[in-house]
């Protein structure tokens, strides 16, 4: 056991040497506080004496042993009586106005002690910080509706904290090996600094480990560097002025909410990275994050379900290798203004992300496309919007005619998102027209629409009709364009038409019959050509004006 020097001796030495730290502390103040305590408690344990004297002097009451293994709060039941402090004495020192006036501005600082009894500070106003470093609390710490300067429990162990309605002017630290085997309740608490649990352990399996619903933190909430919870961590409706940091943290509540922050408002970033393990549901439904939402470098992301429904974040910063598995992602209503430069921005990987949703929802596709388009990734944005329509068709039962129309829209104008996709089809129809109509003219089945196109027959040309040289000549290219393009009249269609009733019908040989059949086909094809023209030229216009998308 470490040799200890009596605080009264410290006072004498410091005064003799003119210590600036303790010169202002009259020796009588220590004695006066102990006398006041003896009136209240009749007798005090040696550890209680040291706590009272250290509080007056503004130094730590350090009960720790040189052996770090012995100092583990888990072994506190084996600590000697010299390391046992009465929780009732500490509470009295905090709540009795006369006693509290003796406490230094540095507050109460206890290290390596077992705190027996209930530290009951309900509704108390404590104007100085409370530090319990490496201590063991035998019973739940009760700070409900208390007003504290700050509470620091680094490395300590407790069966829980009851802190609903707590107000702390500075920080609440449950860090660096702090362990709670019961619920830490801070519902509606207000913290003027940070709420830090980095390196803390919170074990309450299948129940709530930390309940910070509606907590208000002016600074940051930090679950970093080895933080571990077995049970739910709740921050529903929380208001956080800084960052919500979960770097290197482990949240474990399999198949149940591991971190439930629905409706939370975070003015800084929300960060999951550096080997964070999220075993269970992580919910930020309806939350608002002013900074970045960082989801990277996760361990075993297949164990995670992520609910971002109706959430709003500034920048989405994620990595494909940390995305949840198929069916474990909810994105409906999520909005964001930017995708981080190091995150996937190509359509292939973003569609993989979107396809991990538990059910099909169109809004996430539209949101991603809007942001990618704003960032200059126009092609990827179009591909995502077209995939949205294809996925929609797969998720509902369409009648056959709507499936057919859907296929036409997909192939020709990309559902209105790529209207120029129709150009090869237009070129193909025009080329077919040039071929069919040109062949018809060669075989003589393209005839003038007006009988006045013919000139009078001469004796040598009896039985034949000759077209006047003054009549507009047939041009297969112009004719194909003229009949294909609505609202455009190049006058070729006014002067020429396929004619199944031409002279070929008078021929009874096989060639005549073939020409007659081809003339009838050409007449039918002309109707198809015209209809195709109306359809294929209207679809791009409709796509550009978003009529198809509607």
pLDDT tens per residue across span 74-86: 999 999 999 999 9
Q: Global pTM? A: 0.79
Task: Check whether 22 has a pLDDT greater than 60.
Answer: no
Stretch 469-489: mean pLDDT, rounded? 89
**By the 8 A CB rule, do 188 and 214 touch?**
yes
DSSP one-letter string for 321-357 = GGPPPTT-EE-TT-EEEEE-TTS--SHHHHHHHHTTB
Stretch 213-230: mean pLDDT, rounded? 97
Q: Per mean pLDDT, which range of 146-150, 368-372, 504-508 is the poorest?
A: 504-508
Task: Check whether 519 has a pLDDT greater than 90.
Answer: no
Distance CA 171, CA 342 (A): 34
Distance CA 360, CA 367 (A): 14
Average pLDDT, the chain: 88
Distance CA 548, CA 392 (A): 15
Distance CA 260, CA 318 (A): 19
- 342 exposed, middle or buried (CB, 10 Å; 0-12, 13-18, 19+)? exposed
Stretch 393-413: mean pLDDT, rounded? 66
Stretch 18-33: mean pLDDT, rounded? 65
pLDDT of residue 121: 98
pLDDT band at residue 436 using 50, 70 and 90 as cut-offs = very high
φ, ψ for residue 389 (rounded to 5)?
-70, -40
Share of the chain above pLDDT 90, in %: 68
Distance CA 493, CA 490 (A): 7
B/e letters for 526-549, b = 16+ CB within 10 Å, e = fewer, are: beebbebbeebbebbebbeeeebe
pLDDT band at residue 21 using 50, 70 and 90 as cut-offs = very low
**15/237: higher pLDDT:** 237
**By the 8 A CB rule, do 497 and 446 touch?**
yes
Stretch 139-161: mean pLDDT, rounded? 98
**By the 8 A CB rule, do 61 and 76 touch?**
no
Residue 254 vs residues 206, 229, 250, 258, 490: alpha-carbon distances, Å: 8, 12, 12, 7, 72
Q: Per mean pLDDT, which range of 189-198, 229-238, 507-516 is the poorest?
A: 507-516
**By the 8 A CB rule, do 164 and 145 touch?**
yes
Distance CA 283, CA 139 (A): 32
pLDDT of residue 508: 58
């Amino acid at each position: 056991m470490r040799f200890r020097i009596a605080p009264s001796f410290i006072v004498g030495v410091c005064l003799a040497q003119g210590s600036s730290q303790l010169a202002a502390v009259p020796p009588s103040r220590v004695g006066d506080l102990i006398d006041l305590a003896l009136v209240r408690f009749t007798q005090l344990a040696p550890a209680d004496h040291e706590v009272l004297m250290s509080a007056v002097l503004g130094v730590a009451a350090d009960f720790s042993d040189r052996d770090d293994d012995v100092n583990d709060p888990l072994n506190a039941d084996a600590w000697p009586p010299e390391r046992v402090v009465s929780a009732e004495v500490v509470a009295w020192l905090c709540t009795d106005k006369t006693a509290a006036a003796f406490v230094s501005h540095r507050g109460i600082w206890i290290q390596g002690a077992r705190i027996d009894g209930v530290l009951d500070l309900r509704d108390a106003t404590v104007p100085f910080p409370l530090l319990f470093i490496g201590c063991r609390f035998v019973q739940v710490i009760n700070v409900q509706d208390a007003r504290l300067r700050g509470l620091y429990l680094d490395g300590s162990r407790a069966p829980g904290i009851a802190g609903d309605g707590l107000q702390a002017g500075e920080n609440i630290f449950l860090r660096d090996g702090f362990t709670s085997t019961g619920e830490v309740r801070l519902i509606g608490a207000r913290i003027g600094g940070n709420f830090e649990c980095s390196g803390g352990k919170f074990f309450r399996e299948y129940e709530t480990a930390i309940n910070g619903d509606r907590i208000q933190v002016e600074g940051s909430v930090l679950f970093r560097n080895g933080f571990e919870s077995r049970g739910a961590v709740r921050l529903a409706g929380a208001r956080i002025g800084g960052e919500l940091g979960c770097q290197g943290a482990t949240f474990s509540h399999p198949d149940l909410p591991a971190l439930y922050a629905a409706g939370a408002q975070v003015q800084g970033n929300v960060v999951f990275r550096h080997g964070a393990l999220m075993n269970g549901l992580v919910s930020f439904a309806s939350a608002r994050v002013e900074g970045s939402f960082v989801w990277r470098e996760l361990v075993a992301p297949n164990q995670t379900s992520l609910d971002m429904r109706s959430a709003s974040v500034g920048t989405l910063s994620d990595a494909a290798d940390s995305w949840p598995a198929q069916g474990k992602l909810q994105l409906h209503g999520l909005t964001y203004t930017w995708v981080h430069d190091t995150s996937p921005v190509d359509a292939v990987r973003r569609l993989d992300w979107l396809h991990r949703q538990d059910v099909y929802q169109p809004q996430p596709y539209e949101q991603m496309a809007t942001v990618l388009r704003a960032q200059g990734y126009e092609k990827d944005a179009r591909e995502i919007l077209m995939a949205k329509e294809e996925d929609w068709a797969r998720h509902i039962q369409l009648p056959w005619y709507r499936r057919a129309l859907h296929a036409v829209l997909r192939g020709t104008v990309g559902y209105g998102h790529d209207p120029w996709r129709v150009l090869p089809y237009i070129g193909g129809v025009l080329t077919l027209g040039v071929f069919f109509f040109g062949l018809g003219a060669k075989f003589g089945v393209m005839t003038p629409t007006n009988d006045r196109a013919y000139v009078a027959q001469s004796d040598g040309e009896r039985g034949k009709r000759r077209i006047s040289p003054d009549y507009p000549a047939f041009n297969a290219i112009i004719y194909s364009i003229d009949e294909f393009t609505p609202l455009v009249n190049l006058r070729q269609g006014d002067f020429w038409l396929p004619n199944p009733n031409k002279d070929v019908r008078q021929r009874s040989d096989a060639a005549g019959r073939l020409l007659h059949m081809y003339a009838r086909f050409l007449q039918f094809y002309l109707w198809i050509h015209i209809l195709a023209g109306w359809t294929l030229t209207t679809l791009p216009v409709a796509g550009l004006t978003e009529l198809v998308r509607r």
